[in-house]
Amino acid sequence: MQNSSDLKKILSIDIGGSHIKATVLDAEGNTLKAYEKVQTPSPASPENLIEAVKTLTKDFPEYDHISAGFPGYVKNGTVFTAPNLGTDLWKNTNLQELLKKNLGKDAIVVNDADMQGMGVINGKGFEMVITLGTGFGTALFNDGKLLPHLELAHLPIKKTTTYDEYLGDKALHEIGNGRWNKRVKKVLDIFSTVFNYDFLYIGGGNSTKIDFKLDDNIKIVSNREGIKGGPRLWQQDENVLHK
């Protein structure tokens, strides 16, 4: 865990299925560099992704630490699954060490929904974050502390369909906005019953396509808000981050 006084400038990177976004923030999450993005390379191999990050950040101001959110299961900075980037390319890749080696600063890498959640939660009670983008992501928090990551996206909602497939970008384009919204509402009803969260935040690029009234304890948040989780990751206890 780092004290806020030890944190000066944090490069925060949000790796997505379609874009890689980055900014530099201070310890309080204030923006020191305009939010910028590039397309995620195809194929999104570790080598190609690192080159894209280097290109994106080459003209950024100096920073002291790196935080990155990755769309897959990450433990101790190592990627185990990358369903929307290619698990075969990423399995057992220590992205934390790759970023440190290539950018020259200590790094923390977590699931992208975990990092986004750190940027938007208010730190009170049991809070949940879901992301609607290329795939479907989730994160859980209790009194501001990040809980162990669960790949809920890969649970089946139907016999042969996972939440990721049910609500991901591909499904949205195949079935259209109306049917997709009905699916989102169904999943929100399920999660409300299963998790009994105090507050739920919905992020990801497709969250803006929700067209029905949300409950009072549900809020849509932007990727720009979520990337501010970068500094907060460094203020978490190391045991919480499983580093």
Residue with tokens 């990751």: 233
Between CA 38 and CA 226 the distance in angstroms is: 17
Q: Is 120-224 in the same CATH topology as 4-115+228-241?
A: yes
Q: Mean of the pLDDT values across residues 152-166?
A: 95
Question: Can the peptide bond before residue 41 be classed as cis, meaning omega within 30 degrees of 0?
Answer: no
Distant-in-sequence contacts of 29-37, Cβ < 8 A, 24+ apart: 29/119, 29/228, 29/230, 29/231, 29/232, 32/61, 33/60, 33/61, 35/224, 35/227
Between CA 55 and CA 37 the distance in angstroms is: 10
Specify the pLDDT at position 17.
87
Alpha carbon separation from 66 to 27, 55, 140 (Å, rounded): 12, 16, 22
Q: Given a cut of 50, is residue 243 above it in pLDDT?
A: no
- Helices (H) and strands (E) counted in the chain, each on its own, are 9, 15
| 70 class by beta-carbon count within 10 Å (0-12 exposed, 13-18 middle, 19+ buried) | buried
Of the ranges 1-5, 23-27, 57-61, which one carries the lowest mean pLDDT score?
A: 1-5
Q: Given a cut of 70, is residue 158 above it in pLDDT?
A: yes
Mean pLDDT of the chain: 92
Q: Which CATH superfamily is domain 4-115+228-241 in?
A: ATPase, nucleotide binding domain (3.30.420.40)
Q: Given a cut of 70, is residue 102 above it in pLDDT?
A: yes
Task: Please state the domain extents for the chain.
Answer: 4-115+228-241, 120-224
Q: Given a cut of 50, is residue 149 above it in pLDDT?
A: yes
Over residues 175-232, the pLDDT tens digits come to 999 999 999 999 999 999 999 999 999 999 899 999 999 999 999 998 788 888 999 9
Strand order in the sheet with 19-25: 36-39, 19-25, 10-15, 65-70, 107-111
- Please report which confidence band the pLDDT of residue 42 belongs to, taking 50, 70 and 90 as the band edges: very high
What's the pTM value of the predicted model, to 2 decimals? Answer: 0.88
Over residues 133-145, the pLDDT tens digits come to 989 999 999 999 9
Between CA 74 and CA 92 the distance in angstroms is: 9
Domain 120-224 matching CATH 3.40.50.720: the answer reads no
Backbone dihedral angles phi then psi of residue 133, each to the nearest 5 degrees: -140, -135
